[in-house]
Amino acid sequence: MNIPFLIHTFWLAIQAVPITLLITGSALLIGLPLGFLLAWIKIKKIKVLYPLAVIYTSLMRATPMVLLILLFYSTLPSLFNVILNDHLHLGVKIFDVNPIIYAIAVFSLIAVANLSEVFRSAILTVDSGQQEAAVMVGLSPLQTYYRIIVPQALVSAIPNIGNLTLNILKGTSLAFMMTVQEVTAVAKTAAAYTYDYTEAYIDIFIVYFILGAILQIGFKYLERYLSRHKVRGAVKQGV
């Protein structure tokens, strides 16, 4: 066991954590509003959009993450290059795009599809009678969702949002396939010079374990906070 290499590579991997968090956070920020919109479309069964939403969700959830990465980083850029440059002669530098953009796009598509199901199931847990009562007291459909439906659905959705965020965080370890210098890529690159891959994998495990533990603790705290807030709100309404 090469202990000096283990320690040195661990700190190199730690320096790549911001890239991992950037991809995870961006995917979540993009996925939350779009996922809720997709869930609303599926609940309301809006014509034309509903079947498209169902097909998109099923396709994204059924496609392996590795295949999406290969498709977005290898196939699509080549296809766009042929269309935009070879046929349309626009001179767009497709292959100069930062690979982090491709990584954010891939994980955002995955987040949107999965969050749409999370929000759909969470919204359906809210008693429909509350929506009818809100309309009777003069609230608009938008106000009803914002003040009544969403706060309650969010409490139910938090555990699943936490699980999805954790899965995306772990999935970013595959971003090295797109030459993104995240935790896995940095550790494996360092090991390529000395062939100390075992130590590099141990470092990767430790970094992701720490990040995952912090993430789980954060979502547990958020879930408890929102649950207490929900109970207090119910008590005040009862009074």
Number of folded domains that form the chain: 1
Q: Please count the CA atoms within 13 angstroms of the CA of 18 that sit on its side-chain side.
A: 3
Decide if 236 is inside a domain.
Answer: no
Q: What is the CATH number of the domain that holds 27?
A: 1.10.3720.10
Question: What is the tens place of the pLDDT at every residue in 116-136?
Answer: 999 998 888 877 777 677 777
Q: What's the pTM value of the predicted model, to 2 decimals?
A: 0.86
Decide if 106 is inside a domain.
Answer: yes
**Domain around 143:** 3-228
Counting as low any pLDDT under 70, the low residues of the chain are 131, 141, 228-239
Q: Which residues have C-beta within 8 Å of that of residue 157, sequence separation ≥ 6?
A: 118, 119, 121, 122
Count CB neighbours of 234 within 10 A. Answer: 11
Question: What is the tens place of the pLDDT at every residue in 42-77?
Answer: 988 888 899 999 999 999 999 888 998 888 888 887
Contact 31, 108 (CB under 8 A): yes
